Amino acid sequence: MPKSVICYINQFFAGVGGEEKAGIEPYIVEGTLGPTMAIDKALKDANVTYTIVCGDNFMGSNTEEAVDRIIKMIEDKPMDAFVAGPAFQAGRYTVACGAICKAVQEKFHVPAVTSFNEETPGVDMYKKDVVIFKGGNSAAKMRKDVPKMIGYLNKVLAGEPTLGADAEGYFARGMRKEVFLENKHENTAAARGVDMLLKKIKGEPYQTELVIPKRDVVPIADPIADLSKATVALVTSGGIVPVDNPDRIQSASATRWGRYDISKLDALPNRASNGFKTIHAGYDPAAADADPNVCVPVDAMRAYEKEGKLGHLHEYFYSTVGTGTTEGEAARMASEMIPFLKEGHVDGIILTST
């Protein structure tokens, strides 16, 4: 009898809608839906029996409630494995997939797998708890991502041996498993160590068995001693720009940023007033278009200035888009902003997101 696999997808891949439907509550349907059809096709001796759908915003804002409700939905359903996504380079979606996979594994003790792009926050948050395959940056890569993920799951369901993270294609989980190699010479650490040393001396490529992950640790800055004398700048990844978007900042996977003069403004005028809007593709723009100060709080900062709580609001705010933007591009853009902030003698920055 075929085994049962339950899948999880967000509102977009379920065909419900985009950001305007990101708040939908979790529900379950029998059989396949959207990308779970490809998952079902890739499974060998199993079928997708149910598909769970939940809006990214609902999962992100009500994680504990959403997870509890999903657990209740599937606790009386037959389930041999759980699959979420693939989530590609979608930040909130990866976090949602990681959260539900971890919860399902802990509650039901069944294997759970998903797939994220390496640039997403879900990787660092959940790679130690969940098998997360290295995926592409868009749904166009699904044809490559699904076979890797489900190929591994087929082995697990069949009780077949699996290879390590690098060989299978998922993110290393910090776990080491002892295996015996076909070449008996390589089964001693001394022999392998000497082989690596000889390769290093000869300038040949080699791979250490204990990879130390590189972490970009940013030291915490000292607190501002007296805000009433400080200059503070506003920086946002929420995509707030003048209505004509003069810097042509992309709505996703941004490589550009803008610097906009607010020296004579007590608040940001909205889109209807030919002022500012958001070009961010990762959230519903209605609130930010109606009042861009909800994302870049110029109005609140001016109030603090008048009350004497803040010394001075920097004459410009800085903006880009966070969704899909790589860490490398974000670091480059930040390094380009820094000279302007230093020139303005900025003491602190308020970084707003979405």
Summarize pLDDT for 258-288 with one digit per residue, the tens: 999 999 999 999 999 999 999 998 888 999 9
The pLDDT of residue 184 is: 66
Looking at residue 213, its pLDDT comes to 67
Name the residue with higher pLDDT: 118 or 290.
290
Query: Under 8 Å CB-to-CB from 17, ≥6 apart: which residues?
Result: 11
Q: What angle is formed at CA 311 by the lines to CA 306 and CA 313, rounded to 5 degrees?
A: 80
* Separation of alpha carbons 193 and 200, rounded Å: 11
Q: Considering only CA atoms, give the Rg of the chain.
A: 25
Q: Report the pLDDT averaged over residues 197-215.
A: 83
What is the C-alpha separation between 91 and 237, in angstroms, rounded? 13
pLDDT interval class at 79 (50, 70, 90): very high
**Residue 313: its H or E element:** strand 312-319
Residue 181 has pLDDT above 90, yes or no: no
If DSSP codes are grouped into helix, strand and coil, which group holds residue 248?
A: coil
The residue behind tokens 């598909």 is 51
pLDDT at 178: 67
Quick one: tokens of 148? 């890797």
What's residue 296's pLDDT? 97
The contacts found for 12-19 with CB under 8 angstroms, 24 or more apart, are 12/56, 12/93, 13/139, 14/51, 14/53, 16/53, 16/55, 19/282, 19/283, 19/284, 19/285
Mean pLDDT calculated for residue range 7-26? 90
**Is the pLDDT higher at 104 or at 331?**
104
pLDDT at 180: 66
- Residue 15 corresponds to which tokens in the numbers above? 């065909």
Report residue 353's pLDDT band, with 50, 70 and 90 as the boundaries.
confident
Residue 89, pLDDT score: 80
| pLDDT at residue 162 greater than cutoff 90 | no
- Amino acid 109: pLDDT: 95
Check whether 24 has a pLDDT greater than 80: yes
- pLDDT higher than 90, residue 161: no
Note the pLDDT of residue 176: 67
- Under the banding of pLDDT at 50, 70 and 90, the label for residue 105 is very high
Greater confidence (73 vs 251) lies with 73
Question: In DSSP terms, which residues pair with 258 in a beta bridge?
Answer: 319
Percent residues over pLDDT 70 in the chain: 95
Whether the pTM exceeds 0.85: the reply is no
With 90 as the cut, is the pLDDT of residue 153 above it?
yes
- The secondary structure of residue 25, as a DSSP letter, is P
Q: Is the pLDDT of residue 313 over 80?
A: yes
164/263: higher pLDDT = 263
> Span 101-126, mean pLDDT?
90
Q: What is the mean predicted confidence (pLDDT) over 43-53?
A: 94
Please determine, for residue 216, whether its predicted confidence score (pLDDT) is greater than 80: no
Across 211-224, average pLDDT: 80
Residue 72 has pLDDT above 90, yes or no: yes
| Banded model confidence at residue 167, pLDDT cuts 50, 70, 90 | confident
| pLDDT above 80 for 70 | yes
What is the three-class DSSP state of 49? strand
Can you tell me the mean pLDDT for 14-31?
90
Q: How far apart are CA 268 and CA 238, in angstroms?
A: 14
Is 80 exceeded by the pLDDT of residue 185?
no
Average pLDDT, the chain: 90
Q: Give the helix/strand (H/E) hosting 237.
A: none
Its sign, for the CA torsion 42, 46, 51, 52, is negative
Q: What is the mean pLDDT of residues 39-68?
A: 92
